[in-house]
Amino acid sequence: MNLITSTIGQGLLWGILALGLYLSFRILNFPDMTVEGTFPFGAAVCVSAIVHGVNPWLATLLSFGAGMITGAVTGLLYTKGKIPVLLAGILTMTGVYSVNLRILGKANVGLLNNKTLLNMGLLQNLPTNFPTIFLGLAFAICIVFLLALFLNTDLGQAFIATGDNENMSRSLGINTDNMKILGLMVSNGLIGLAGGLLAQNGGYADVNMGIGTMVIGLAAIIIGEVVYGNLSLTARLVAVVVGSILYRLVLLLVLQLGFSTNDFKLISSIILAICMMLPLFQEKFHIRKLIKKGVERP
């Protein structure tokens, strides 16, 4: 039972990262490679702040701000510096590695005997792993609500239009460069926030903890899309978080089958590849139609 509750809590926290990726990859249509630098940057800022006596709530907010900075840098490199999209993200990701070392002072810093969001207030009285579930659920609900609210404003619609058709958006008077910078800032802000929360949950920050995070986020997005199919925009945001939980449960199942944690990255890549091929299988073998007929059959 503890393994399942821990997995659900982890899935909710990773779902925040997946929501950030969804904004850039799906809505903005921007393949942002900054992710693997932003995630440990948010964790490093959060952990360093807590170790130096900063309130965990403020430290968590700082991790969001740190992510926004990396997003802004990537956006400016691409829109103003005219650097190719993939290279802009890689440059930022590479540079942030050194910044993380400066912030932490070494490769790894722990939070032993420090107050975090998970061991203060009412959360410290909850059963094992339930503080993670409660915190992850609270953040996920708030973020989904705020994103849905934002995307239904005029500014949010301009943001969506930029991802759908940049040339048309520009002809309508939308400053697409500003939309991209804004989108990358919000997207990376959420990824930095996820880094800060997961660092508090894990009890440490490491400069290499961002490796593979893009695969995890994309897997959550694709699993959510494949499982639920066509949905409204708000429902898609919820599906991304659910997809993150399902992805963690699949990894738990794989571990229970006897695989080593050293195989995590390989397994993650295989799961992502399978999920990306599922729409092809569905179309080729009419899987959805067969399922529907089976449900409707008396």
Query: How does pLDDT run across 179-227, given as a tens digit for each residue?
Result: 999 999 999 999 999 999 999 999 999 999 988 888 889 888 988 888 7
Stretch 8-22: mean pLDDT: 94
- Domain assignment present for residue 12? The answer is yes
Position 294 scores a pLDDT of 47
Q: Indicate the range of 44-48, 67-71, 124-128 predicted with least confidence.
A: 124-128
Is the torsion defined by CA of 123, 126, 132, 137 positive or negative? negative
pLDDT at 155 over 70: yes
Stretch 2-13: mean pLDDT: 89
pLDDT at 156 over 70: yes
Q: Indicate the range of 38-42, 64-68, 145-149, 270-274 predicted with least confidence.
A: 270-274
Average pLDDT value for the chain: 87
pLDDT band at residue 255 under the 50/70/90 scheme: confident
Is the torsion defined by CA of 95, 22, 20, 13 positive or negative? negative
pLDDT at 298 over 50: no
pTM of this structure: 0.90
pLDDT at 233 over 50: yes
**Over the stretch 132-150, which tens digit does the pLDDT of each residue have?**
899 999 999 999 999 999 9
Instruction: List, as own/partner pairs, every contact residues 202-206 make where C-beta atoms lie below 8 angstroms and the sequence separation is at least 24, other chains included.
Output: 203/110, 203/111, 203/112, 203/116, 204/47, 204/108, 204/109, 204/110, 204/111, 205/40, 205/43, 205/44, 205/46, 205/47, 205/48, 205/104, 205/108, 205/109, 206/40, 206/43, 206/107, 206/108
- Domain assignment present for residue 161? The answer is yes
Stronger pLDDT, 112 or 229, i.e. the higher one: 112
**Could you give the CA distance from residue 267 to residue 249 in angstroms, rounded to a whole number?**
13
Q: Which domain holds residue 48?
A: 2-210
- Domain assignment present for residue 107? The answer is yes
- Domain assignment present for residue 20? The answer is yes
pLDDT at 26 over 80: yes
pLDDT band at residue 254 under the 50/70/90 scheme: confident
Position 283 scores a pLDDT of 62
- Domain assignment present for residue 291? The answer is no
Per the structure, how many domains does the chain have? 1
pLDDT at 290 over 70: no
Cα–Cα distance list, 238 to 15, 100, 137, 180, 233 (Å): 9, 31, 11, 23, 9
| 207 C-beta neighbours (distance < 10 Å), count | 23
Stretch 115-122: mean pLDDT: 84
- Domain assignment present for residue 173? The answer is yes
- Domain assignment present for residue 284? The answer is no
Stretch 105-127: mean pLDDT: 84
- Domain assignment present for residue 238? The answer is no
Stronger pLDDT, 294 or 236, i.e. the higher one: 236
